[in-house]
Amino acid sequence: VSAPVDPAGTLAAARGGDRGALARLLTAVERGGPDARDIGRAAFQQSGGAYTVGITGAPGAGKSTLTSASVAAARTHGERVAVLAIDPSSPYTGGAILGDRVRMSEHALDEGVFIRSMASRGHLGGLALATPEAVRVLDAAGFGWVVIETVGVGQVEVEVAGAADTTVVVVNPGWGDAVQANKAGLMEIADVFVVNKADRPGAEETRRHLESMLDLTRRTASDSSWRPPVVLTVGTTGEGAGELWSAVARHRAQLEAAGTLTRRRGDRLRNELGLVIEQRLRARAEHLLDAAGRDDIERQVAAGDLDPWSAADQVLRHLDA
């Protein structure tokens, strides 16, 4: 257990370019609890509306390679960029992160780039809360762009991708033949499609497949004027990264012009409020169960001597006390 973080002072240091301070803030946010709460408050006041780009797709699709190439493209425009690489499948910061470091090592000495990996906070739902908190810290630290890379493992990718202003979905040639189950969800969240590994056969076919799926997909009313472009890239050479960057910039301009960005961000904050309340109530519930005698109650319920509803009543009786 590390010492508590002084939110305002540490944020000021991070803003001034102290990367160690920034890392400490993100660690506290990842850990959750009272520190995270205080940091969240302080960062909220100082955040200036950084633009967030979510990059999601199957394991190994080339998200990190592509993120690195896009960061390079963004840097030619003078933007300061932070990358959050999120692995919902692992509660540990493990090997994937090492891979990310290697993949993005070209930016290691660039002061205008900050790369950070984040593992889930014990349970999957924790990421839905930790991600916007971490983005806010990076925003308050002066990064105008935050790229959120998430491995696609189903529902969580959709939740986490929901934390971004623009969501980029990365697929590979041959995707047309791949699992159907995830497709609908991906079609819904994608603002930009990327067919990465376009140096391999079948890229054009996959593009056509995506375009025809887009023809069939009805976009939500608020986004009806935007049809997700399909960009072909070769992450390893950087081919198409510039085009990807301009597709994101066009989507941003469209969101801003239509007033959709403000609305989307408002929706996200509303959603976050719900999550914060839920999380605190859940912590409260654990506490109440402990206070009421968890072992005894759980044993009775497990043995069938006490029904779950009566048990819950018994526990929640302490709520008003």
Ligand X SMILES: Nc1nc2c(ncn2[C@@H]2O[C@H](COP(=O)(O)OP(=O)(O)OP(=O)(O)O)[C@@H](O)[C@H]2O)c(=O)[nH]1
Residue from 60, 94, 95, 154 in contact with ligand X (CB under 6 A): 60
**Residue closer to ligand X, measured from CB, 11 or 158:** 158
Among 96, 127, 158, 210, binds ligand X (CB under 6 A): 96
Taking CB under 6 A as the binding criterion, the range among 21-29, 42-50, 54-62, 217-225 that sits at the site for ligand X is: 54-62
**Residue with CB nearest ligand X?**
235
Q: Please write down the long-range contacts of 222-229, taking CB distance under 8 Å and 24 or more positions apart.
A: 222/258, 222/260, 222/263, 223/191, 223/260, 225/254, 225/258, 226/191, 226/251, 226/254, 228/190, 228/191, 228/192, 228/193, 229/192, 229/193
Is 30 within 8 Å of 16 (Cβ atoms)?
no
The residue range among 57-65, 126-134, 202-210, 281-289 that interacts with Mg ion, by the rule CB under 5 A, is: 57-65
Q: Does 131 bind ligand X (CB under 6 A)?
A: no
Backbone conformation region of residue 290, classed left if phi is above 0, alpha if psi is from -120 to 50, else beta: alpha
Q: Should residue 56 be labelled a site residue for Mg ion when binding is judged by CB under 5 A?
A: no
CB of 85 to Mg ion, least distance (A): 6
Among 52, 56, 64, 150, binds Mg ion (CB under 5 A): 64
Is residue 235 close enough to count as binding ligand X by CB under 6 A? yes
Closest Cα to residue 146, out of 171, 112, 96, 185?
A: 112
Q: Does 52 bind Mg ion (CB under 5 A)?
A: no
Distance (Å, whole) CA 110 – CA 138: 16
- For 127, phi then psi, to 5°, come to -70, -35
Binding positions for Mg ion, rule: CB under 5 A: 63-64
Binding positions for ligand X, rule: CB under 6 A: 57, 59-65, 96, 99, 103, 151, 196-197, 199-200, 234-236
